[in-house]
Structure 1
Amino acid sequence: MTTSPAAQPLPDNPWEKWGWAFAAIWLVFLAFPITAVLDSGVPVAAQVAALLCIAGFAVANVLGYSHHRSTWLCLGVMVLLALATLPVIGIGVISYAPYLAILSALELPSPAWKWAVGFWAAFPLLSLLDIDDFPTFFFLMLWPIMIGGVMLRIFGEREQLAYAARGEHAIVAERERVARDVHDVLGHSLTALSVKAELAARLIDLDPARAKEELESIQATARQALAEVRATVGGLRAGNLEAELAAAPRVLADAGVTTRVEGSVADTDPRHRALLAWVLREAVTNVVRHARARSVVIELGPGGIAVTDDGAGCDGPEGNGLRGMRERVAGAGGTLSLAPASPGTRVEVALP
């Protein structure tokens, strides 16, 4: 049994599962504030306290990528721990900005993440003040890292939109497929039932035995139609060219139409036989419904199929059946042509 795209769960956000690994890899750049603490010359107790703050900052950063943790809480803890190291490393606290910006970009909801990233991105500008002989070019090294986090967020959102669009397209395509299949199945079966019922009504007084046979055939056709509709809705039905080729002369004969078949199933391309079965079914249904023909010629070959009748010809707009047939053929890379046959109509399908 096939599963509708709408029933399939959305893929998990990779940041919820592996974000901690991403965060852990980048902790290597905390070497800068650690080095700054060790070179600060402050008392050992202050250095130990600062290093503990950096360790807490690292833990909070990793936890911030876990979906069961509050990102806002982790950001708040990181800010407090970073500020706690300010008396020791001074302007070097700028080195924490990329961690805050990337966590905000990847984990905060929209549109809050944009404002948060913009706020953190402004901190490297403090390096332009030349405080504590801090290199003024430092912000140039931090901004590309922050931009990378923003790009990851944007690409992730675009991917989710693309996935949702593909899911909606799949749903629409499946609905169209079921609509075409149900139309073809019911159209053909109901047409056959109508023809057989009319024939049975005419024979009920003239030939009761033959009328009984037609009524039994109506029962069999109705059961088959019900089974085909169920299979079609389940996505399990595929056209059978041999079965359709055998059924077509019987359906046409019930409508008083003679049939001549040129070629055989063996002459057709095996890749397209299911499609040709649908085409033949719809063409025969149209002949019985609309053509008022006396004879039909069915031609089978490696290039496709043609159904020609000597009926009233084709006029007016295309119906759902013909439109569905054309869509099926186009989906297989083929073409469908509908042309006068003098008299009648010729439906020809050419496939690659």
Structure 2
Amino acid sequence: MTSTSGGAELPVNPWEKWGWAFASIWLVFLFFPISSALAADVSPLATGVTLLLIAGFAVANVLGYSGRVSPWLALGAMVLIGAATMPVIGVGVLSYTPYLSMLSALELPAPAWRWSVAFWSVVPLVSLLDIDGFPTFFFLVLWPVMLGGVMLRIFGERERVVEVARSEYAMVAERERVARDVHDVLGHSLTALSVKAELAARLVDVDPARAKEELESIQATARQALAEVRATVGGLRAGNLEAELLAAPRVLADAGVTTTVDGDVADTDPRHRALLAWVLRESVTNVIRHARAGRVVIELGPHGIAVVDDGSGCSGLEGNGLRGMRERVAGAGGTLTITPASPGTRVEVGLP
């Protein structure tokens, strides 16, 4: 087996699992050397030994595809056995060359298989010598079979390249997913922790009891963030829209922002609620970090969500958060639009 950079294992060639079965089917073409052995003018003992050798050739051929025997060893055994039958069947040994070429093409490593196939493709040209009445153009019968083996090998290698590319693409996509999820989790949680810490610092002298509550809330938020990061890295976390709708007003209130929610979780499409939860979380984080808003309106509907603030408006290039949000929405077949709200900003996600 060979391993891709993503850790996935790919078969060495397309015949690794079932090649022995196809090799068994191809044995029907040993009819030619068998018939030559039976027709040869030799003693019954010589005929019997030759038939046993042909049977040994068949066994070696099948074992060459089984994975239990080295294809080099199987190929060598087939050559020796085939040569041993030459005294009886003569030039009929050319009938073995398709088996030798096929095994070389499908089982030998690169680049050796190319040289081996080229050699076995030339051998049938011996039929042009017109020895013992053997068909002069017999190589024309054998070459298509050999070409078939070459094409199967090439197609198998191309398929393997495609599988490697898919594996690497999946690995890159997974890395991007983890990066987006960790950014969303940490960005939101650290922003909330910062706001709560500032609030606790202001209250520690004027309202110690409230400050203690905020410090306890900081501990709970930190524990939750740690658990979410662990779950995200493990690929297990999914956004919870209901939980985010409960958390958003509290986090915004700590930053001095009032929240109005138009609609309910039941108004949204169940297929997209996890995505809407991520969008809401990132939007709230952006409001706290950048908007300097006093009020936020969260609108929920069957086709998406909108978060509207009355802050300073949007300007500059998109950061990682908005870029990650846009990628998530696009992956679900939706659209993300960011427009001025006079004053403030409206972030709207439309989903099919």
Same topology, TM > 0.5: yes
State the partner residue of 2:109.
Answer: 109
Other structure's SS at 2:338 match: strand
Other structure's SS at 1:347 match: strand
CA distance in 2 between partners of 1:235 and 1:79 (Å): 54
Other structure's SS at 1:54 match: helix
Which region of structure 1 is more displaced relative to structure 2, 111-120 or 255-264? 255-264
Q: CA deviation at 1:204?
A: 1.2
TM-score by length of 2: 0.94
Aligned residues: 348
Which region of structure 1 is more displaced relative to structure 2, 25-34 or 46-55? 46-55
State the partner residue of 2:244.
Answer: 244
Identity over aligned residues, as a percent? 78
Cα pair 2:13 2:106 within 8 Å, conserved: no
CA distance in 2 between partners of 1:164 and 1:238 (Å): 29
The reply to whether residue 346 of structure 1 matches residue 336 of structure 2 is no
Q: CA deviation at 1:14?
A: 6.0
The reply to whether residue 177 of structure 1 matches residue 202 of structure 2 is no
CA distance in 2 between partners of 1:103 and 1:7 (Å): 29
Per-residue CA deviations over 1:315-345 (Å, capped at 9, x if unaligned) read 1111111110000000000010111112211
Per-residue CA deviations over 1:284-336 (Å, capped at 9, x if unaligned) read 00000001111111111111111111111111111111110000000000010
Code of the residue aligned with 1:186 in structure 2: it is L
State the partner residue of 2:58.
Answer: 58
Which region of structure 1 is more displaced relative to structure 2, 321-330 or 305-314? 305-314
- Aligned CA RMSD, in angstroms, stands at 1.8
Q: CA deviation at 1:178?
A: 1.0
Per-residue CA deviations over 1:225-284 (Å, capped at 9, x if unaligned) read 111111111111111111111111111111111111111111111110100000000000
Code of the residue aligned with 2:304 in structure 1: it is G
Code of the residue aligned with 1:108 in structure 2: it is L
CA distance in 2 between partners of 1:117 and 1:182 (Å): 53
State the partner residue of 1:223.
Answer: 223
Which region of structure 1 is more displaced relative to structure 2, 227-236 or 136-145? 136-145
Other structure's SS at 1:122 match: helix
Code of the residue aligned with 1:158 in structure 2: it is R
State the partner residue of 1:125.
Answer: 125
Query: 1:37-48 to 2 correspondence within 5 Å?
Result: 37-48=37-48
CA distance in 1 between partners of 2:186 and 2:242 (Å): 19
Q: CA deviation at 1:8?
A: 5.2
Query: 1:311-322 to 2 correspondence within 5 Å?
Result: 311-322=311-322
State the partner residue of 2:146.
Answer: 146
State the partner residue of 1:305.
Answer: 305
Which region of structure 1 is more displaced relative to structure 2, 329-338 or 228-237? 228-237
State the partner residue of 2:205.
Answer: 205
Q: CA deviation at 1:135?
A: 2.1
State the partner residue of 2:23.
Answer: 23
Code of the residue aligned with 1:82 in structure 2: it is G
CA distance in 2 between partners of 1:247 and 1:30 (Å): 76
CA distance in 1 between partners of 2:342 and 2:267 (Å): 27
Code of the residue aligned with 2:234 in structure 1: it is G
Structure 2 unmatched runs, 5+:
none
Which region of structure 1 is more displaced relative to structure 2, 50-59 or 226-235? 50-59
From the superposition, tell whether residues 337 and 12 of structure 1 become closer, same or farther in structure 2 (CA, over 3 Å): same
Structure 1 unmatched runs, 5+:
none
Q: CA deviation at 1:21?
A: 2.3
Code of the residue aligned with 1:350 in structure 2: it is G
Which region of structure 1 is more displaced relative to structure 2, 6-15 or 188-197? 6-15
CA distance in 2 between partners of 1:211 and 1:45 (Å): 104
CA distance in 2 between partners of 1:118 and 1:11 (Å): 24
Code of the residue aligned with 1:70 in structure 2: it is S
